[in-house]
Amino acid sequence: MSTWARFKESYLFHSFKRDLIAIASFCALVFLIFIALSAPVVAPYNTYDTATIDIMDAEIPPSWMEDGEDRFLLGTDIQGRCLLSTMIYGLRVSFLIGCGAVVLQALIGILVGLFAGYFGGKVDGFLMRITDIQFSIPYLIVAIFTSAIFKLAFGVGRYEDLAIPLLIIIIAVSHWPIYARTVRAAVLGEKGKEYVEAARVIGLSRWVIMFRHILPNTMTSVLVISTIQVAEAIMSEAALSFLGLGMPITKPSLGSLIRAGFEYIFSGSWWITFFPGLLLVVFVLVILLLGDWLRDVLNPKLYKG
Amino acid sequence: MLAFIIRRIIQSILVMLVISFVGFLIQHQIGDPVRDLVGERVTPAEREVIRDRLGLNDPFYEQYFRFVAKAVQGDLGLSFFYKKPALDVILSKAPATIELVIVTSFILIFVSIPVGIYSAIYPKSWISRIAIAGSTVGVAVPVFLTAIAFIYLFSVELNWLPSYGRGETVTVWGFWDTGFLTVDGLLHLILPAISLSSIMLPLFIRLIRAEMMEVLETEYIKYAWAKGLDRRRVWFVHAFKNTLLPVITVFGVQLGIMFAFTILTETVFQWQGMGFMFLEAVERSDTSLLVAYLVFVGVIFVLVNTVVDVIYGVVNPMVRITGAK
């Protein structure tokens, strides 16, 4: 049977077909990711190109309102950029940082969890002590402090130039303990099973056992937390950018757009804040809903009415 | 039991040493104590003299020990901007944050418990459905967006409530600036507290509902029904009491997370608390104040965690055994 045919017969696909919320959020997510990744093609204007921006266009309301212009469907922001285009580029930045951060934190967390779970003893005690300590401090506090320190260490200019990689590192460093814990628990469950015993008996090295035999079997739980973690990472990035510790307004993410628009809300320009905020909420919400569904399907034990 | 407590205290001292080391590194590598002291218009030669006098040319470990020794005595350095000891600055801002957290906690308790219980008892009613749908969406709405929406609605459009600052405050006991005693201060508290509680409410409503539903299925509740007890007595006395324990646990953990969210809420409402002070310190490159706040937050977290763990150890002997490994 081909992979596709097998997938069509699987329990995962079967329960997906019957869950309207899962289908709807999956479609919305695919649509948003497609738009985000093809931003240069889809967006009406290139907002990184300063030549196309005219400050005279600043704060134009959405096209259906009085004073609105057809050129700018959702109006413009304070710098005269087309808000829709800025949002699409912002979504792309938020998405890239979210995914990058999750890949990096999964890498750190999986390695720590795998080593702690497989070797046990002193290694386990040491690694898990570190994990527990960081776990006891809220991730947002860690992220805010780390970014503040980085900002001071690099200086504002360099920090803004390097914002994307730095934010990926900051968010990964503040979120990895959940992976370490999950993977360790899964490894402990797998370690005693017979296939591991068998692999050891035929003389495979411990590295092969760890990475080729045990690791793939922990991937279900990794997948389940990864969806939630992408949403968390995007929310953290938005929070950092809103505090002025994230993306600069020249290369805005959704968070920095909201920060910029907030100052103008008192003069009645609500759309600069409202649309990026709405997009952020919808994006995070569909990921969370998919994550909830995935957790229920793959992990029935965790299911709680 | 004593061994467990001692082990726990040694661990928290270790954590504090790590945090203080990070703080020291920041101050050592990024900060400039000479600038903090005399500003920037000093010749290099004078600078060198001051560096020598401050001991900045001493070996690294000596400076670290001095930093720790001073920190233990409550001396966390001078704030460059405020020209005051950093700890004094932090303590003068603390009441604002603490009052915000207190009001938020009250809102949390008085909203999430009734809503959670109601939606567990009548899971099919439309109020419960709205509450559950609302808390699903609520998780995805960042606290600063809620805050901005409230400001736009209640301050800009309706002009009912103030949107920034603490309003009129009264000083009690000589150091505590409270907004509780004036009408203006209370009005200023409403929007920040509701915004801050909005981020925690979904979690608590879901938690109380899930726990309550589970308890309602247990044997002793069925027995209470069979005895013919009054409905309210079964719900509020028999069932609710047993949902409280996990709720209190989570509440303890969430208090820490609430501190992180106060930074966001305080930024939106220009609330003169510790979070707002921290962000100002970052913008002004006030390294000493930043380090002092880091150590301060570290102490609070370690203290709270240690106390919670020790209480757990007393209540639940299993914790002690796993810790002893």
The tokens 């390695």 sit on which residue? Answer: A111
> What's residue A52's pLDDT?
67
Q: How many residues does chain A have?
A: 305
Find, among B167, B143, B266, B152, the residue nearest to A266 by Cα: B152
CB contact under 8 A, A242 and B290: no
Judged against a pLDDT cut of 60, whether residue A305 lies above it is answered with no
Cβ–Cβ < 8 Å for B13, B48: no
Q: Does A159 touch chain B (CB under 8 A)?
A: no
Residue A75 in any domain: the answer is no
- Report how many Cβ contacts below 8 Å link chain A to chain B: 96
How many Cβ atoms from other residues are within 10 Å of residue B56's Cβ?
Answer: 15
| φ and ψ of A193, to 5 deg | -75, 165
Angle ∠(B208,B209,B214) on CA atoms, nearest 5: 100
Which tokens in the block code for residue A37? Answer: 């990744």
CB contact under 8 A, B152 and A265: yes
Q: Does A302 touch chain B (CB under 8 A)?
A: no
Which tokens in the block code for residue B277? Answer: 């002070």
Task: Lowest mean pLDDT of A70-74, A149-153, B287-291, name the range.
Answer: A70-74
How many Cβ atoms from other residues are within 10 Å of residue B32's Cβ?
Answer: 16
Instruction: Over range A47-74, report the average pLDDT.
Output: 68
- Three-state helix/strand/coil letters over A245-301: CCCCCCCCCHHHHHHHHHCCHHHCCCHHHHHHHHHHHHHHHHHHHHHHHHHHHHCHH
The tokens 């386990």 sit on which residue? Answer: A124
For residue A56, CA distances in Å to A66, A81, A261, B207, B247 come to 17, 10, 17, 51, 54
- A198 CB burial (10 A radius; 0-12, 13-18, 19+): exposed
> What's residue A155's pLDDT?
77
Which candidate from B139, B163, B267 shows the least CB-CB separation from A288?
Answer: B139
Residues from chain A that touch B290, judged by Cβ atoms under 8 A, are 148-149, 152
CB contact under 8 A, A125 and B268: no
Bridge partner list, B78: B85
3-state secondary structure of A76: strand
Which 8-state DSSP code applies to residue B85? Answer: B
pLDDT band at residue A304, thresholds of 50, 70 and 90?
Answer: very low
> What's residue B298's pLDDT?
85
The percent of residues in chain B predicted with pLDDT above 90, rounded, is: 1
Minimal Cα distance from A154: which residue of B?
A: B30
pLDDT in tens, B116-134: 888 888 888 888 888 888 8
Instruction: Over range B184-208, report the average pLDDT.
Output: 86
Judged against a pLDDT cut of 60, whether residue A250 lies above it is answered with yes
Shortest alpha-carbon distance between residue B285 and chain A (Å): 7
> What's residue B174's pLDDT?
67
Judged against a pLDDT cut of 60, whether residue B198 lies above it is answered with yes
CB contact under 8 A, B279 and A243: yes
Residue A1 in any domain: the answer is no
Judged against a pLDDT cut of 60, whether residue A189 lies above it is answered with yes
Rounded Cα gap, residues A189 and B251, in angstroms: 30
How many Cβ atoms from other residues are within 10 Å of residue A138's Cβ?
Answer: 20
Residue A40 in any domain: the answer is no
Sign of CA dihedral B199, B201, B207, B210: negative
> What's residue A104's pLDDT?
94
- Three-state helix/strand/coil letters over B144-198: HHHHHHHHHHHHHHCCCCCCCCCCCCEEECCCEEECCCCHHHHHHHHHHHHHHHH
- Domain range for A257: 81-298
Residue A42 in any domain: the answer is no
pLDDT band at residue B32, thresholds of 50, 70 and 90?
Answer: low
> What's residue B325's pLDDT?
39
The alpha-carbon radius of gyration of chain A (Å, integer) is 23
> What's residue A283's pLDDT?
92
CB contact under 8 A, B144 and A141: no
CB contact under 8 A, B148 and A235: no
Shortest alpha-carbon distance between residue B141 and chain A (Å): 6
Shortest alpha-carbon distance between residue B174 and chain A (Å): 31
Q: Which residue type occupies A260? A: A
Rounded Cα gap, residues B88 and B5, in angstroms: 31
The mean predicted confidence, pLDDT, of chain B is 80
Which 8-state DSSP code applies to residue A60? Answer: P
3-state helix, strand, coil in chain B (%, to 5): 75, 0, 20
pLDDT band at residue B317, thresholds of 50, 70 and 90?
Answer: low
CB contact under 8 A, A242 and B136: no
ipTM above 0.85, yes or no: no
Minimal Cα distance from A289: which residue of B?
A: B136
pLDDT band at residue A55, thresholds of 50, 70 and 90?
Answer: low
Judged against a pLDDT cut of 90, whether residue B135 lies above it is answered with no
> What's residue A168's pLDDT?
92
Rounded Cα gap, residues A75 and A91, in angstroms: 17
Bridge partner list, B234: none
Instruction: Over range A123-152, report the average pLDDT.
Output: 84
Bridge partner list, A101: none
Look up the CATH number of the domain holding residue A288. 1.10.3720.10
> What's residue B39's pLDDT?
65
Find, among B213, B195, B238, B214, the residue nearest to B108 by Cα: B195
3-state secondary structure of A220: helix
| φ and ψ of A296, to 5 deg | -65, -40
> Cβ contacts of residue A300 below 8 Å, gap of 6+?
none
Bridge partner list, A82: A76
Residues from chain B that touch A276, judged by Cβ atoms under 8 A, are none
pLDDT band at residue A49, thresholds of 50, 70 and 90?
Answer: low
Residue A137 in any domain: the answer is yes
Residue A34 in any domain: the answer is no
Rounded Cα gap, residues B275 and A73, in angstroms: 37
The alpha-carbon radius of gyration of chain B (Å, integer) is 25
Task: Provide residues of B within 8 Å CB-CB of chain A.
Answer: 11, 15, 18, 26, 29-30, 136-137, 139-142, 144-145, 148-149, 151-152, 156, 163, 210, 213-214, 256-257, 259-261, 263-264, 267-268, 278-279, 282-283, 285, 287, 290, 294, 297, 301, 305, 325
Cβ–Cβ < 8 Å for B207, B250: yes
3-state helix, strand, coil in chain A (%, to 5): 75, 0, 25
Q: Does A149 touch chain B (CB under 8 A)?
A: yes
pLDDT in tens, B296-312: 888 888 887 777 777 77
- B159 CB burial (10 A radius; 0-12, 13-18, 19+): exposed
| φ and ψ of B184, to 5 deg | -60, -45
Residue A130 in any domain: the answer is yes
> What's residue B222's pLDDT?
85
Residue A113 in any domain: the answer is yes
Cβ–Cβ < 8 Å for A157, A164: no
> Cβ contacts of residue B183 below 8 Å, gap of 6+?
none
Judged against a pLDDT cut of 60, whether residue B324 lies above it is answered with no
Rounded Cα gap, residues B238 and B286, in angstroms: 54
Residues from chain B that touch A304, judged by Cβ atoms under 8 A, are 210, 214
Judged against a pLDDT cut of 60, whether residue B319 lies above it is answered with no
The tokens 């009054």 sit on which residue? Answer: B230
Which 8-state DSSP code applies to residue A206? Answer: H
Find, among A88, A81, A96, the residue nearest to A47 by Cα: A81
pLDDT band at residue A108, thresholds of 50, 70 and 90?
Answer: very high
Judged against a pLDDT cut of 90, whether residue B26 lies above it is answered with no
Instruction: Over range A8-12, report the average pLDDT.
Output: 74
Cβ–Cβ < 8 Å for A73, A84: yes
pLDDT band at residue B315, thresholds of 50, 70 and 90?
Answer: low
Rounded Cα gap, residues B154 and B160, in angstroms: 5
pLDDT band at residue A282, thresholds of 50, 70 and 90?
Answer: very high
The tokens 């969370």 sit on which residue? Answer: A288
> What's residue B235's pLDDT?
83
> What's residue A302's pLDDT?
44
The mean predicted confidence, pLDDT, of chain A is 82
Judged against a pLDDT cut of 70, whether residue A151 lies above it is answered with yes
3-state secondary structure of B56: coil
When divided into structural domains, chain A yields a total of 1
How many Cβ atoms from other residues are within 10 Å of residue A73's Cβ?
Answer: 16
Judged against a pLDDT cut of 90, whether residue B290 lies above it is answered with no
Please give the distance of CA B144 from its chain centroid, rounded to a whole number. 16
